[in-house]
Amino acid sequence: MVIHWFRRDLRLDDNAALYHALSQHENVQCIFIFDKNILDKLADKDDARVTFIYNQLMNIQNRLAEIGSDLKIYYGHPDEIWQNIIQELKPSAVFTNKDYEPYAKERDQKIAELLASNDIIFNAYKDHVIFEEDEITKDDGDPYVVFTPYSRKWKSKLAETHIASYENKKYFNHFIKTNSSPKISLEEMGFEENSMDFPSITTQVGIIKNYGEKRNFPGIEGTSRLSVHFRFGTISIREKVRRGKSLSEKWLNELIWRDFYSQILYHFPHVKNGSFRSKYDAISWKNSKDHFDAWCQGKTGYGLVDAGMRELNATGFMHNRVRMVVASFLTKHLLIDWRWGEAYFARKLLDFDLASNNGGWQWASGSGVDAAPYFRIFNPYTQIQKFDKDHTYIKKWVPEWGTNQYVTEIVNHKEARELCLKTYKEALDNV
Ligand X SMILES: Cc1cc2nc3c(=O)[nH]c(=O)nc-3n(C[C@H](O)[C@H](O)[C@H](O)COP(=O)(O)OP(=O)(O)OC[C@H]3O[C@@H](n4cnc5c(N)ncnc54)[C@H](O)[C@@H]3O)c2cc1C
Catalytically active residues are 254, 257, 285, 320, 338, 361
- Does residue 333 touch ligand X according to CB under 6 A? no
Judge contact between 168 and 12, C-beta under 8 A: yes
Segment interacting with ligand X, rule: CB under 6 A, options 58-66, 79-87, 133-141, 350-358 = 350-358
Between 60 and 256, whose beta carbon lies closer to ligand X? 256
Segment interacting with ligand X, rule: CB under 6 A, options 86-94, 168-176, 347-355, 386-394 = 347-355
- Does residue 255 touch ligand X according to CB under 6 A? yes
**Of the candidates 10, 12, 94, 327, which one interacts with ligand X according to CB under 6 A?**
327
Q: Provide, rounded to whole angstroms, the least separation between the CB of residue 122 and ligand X.
A: 28
- Does residue 387 touch ligand X according to CB under 6 A? no
**Number of residues binding to ligand X, judged by CB under 6 A:** 28
- Does residue 312 touch ligand X according to CB under 6 A? no
**Of the candidates 33, 364, 398, 420, which one interacts with ligand X according to CB under 6 A?**
364
Q: Provide, rounded to whole angstroms, the least separation between the CB of residue 365 and ligand X.
A: 9
**Of the candidates 82, 131, 166, 257, which one interacts with ligand X according to CB under 6 A?**
257
Q: Provide, rounded to whole angstroms, the least separation between the CB of residue 414 and ligand X.
A: 24
Segment interacting with ligand X, rule: CB under 6 A, options 48-56, 149-157, 276-284, 357-365 = 357-365
Between 164 and 201, whose beta carbon lies closer to ligand X? 201
Judge contact between 213 and 387, C-beta under 8 A: no
Q: Provide, rounded to whole angstroms, the least separation between the CB of residue 159 and ligand X.
A: 21
- Does residue 394 touch ligand X according to CB under 6 A? no
- Does residue 248 touch ligand X according to CB under 6 A? no
**Of the candidates 226, 241, 312, 369, which one interacts with ligand X according to CB under 6 A?**
226
Judged by the rule CB under 6 A, the positions of this chain that interact with ligand X are: 215, 223-227, 230-231, 254-255, 257-258, 261, 320, 323-324, 327, 345, 349, 351-353, 356-357, 359-361, 364
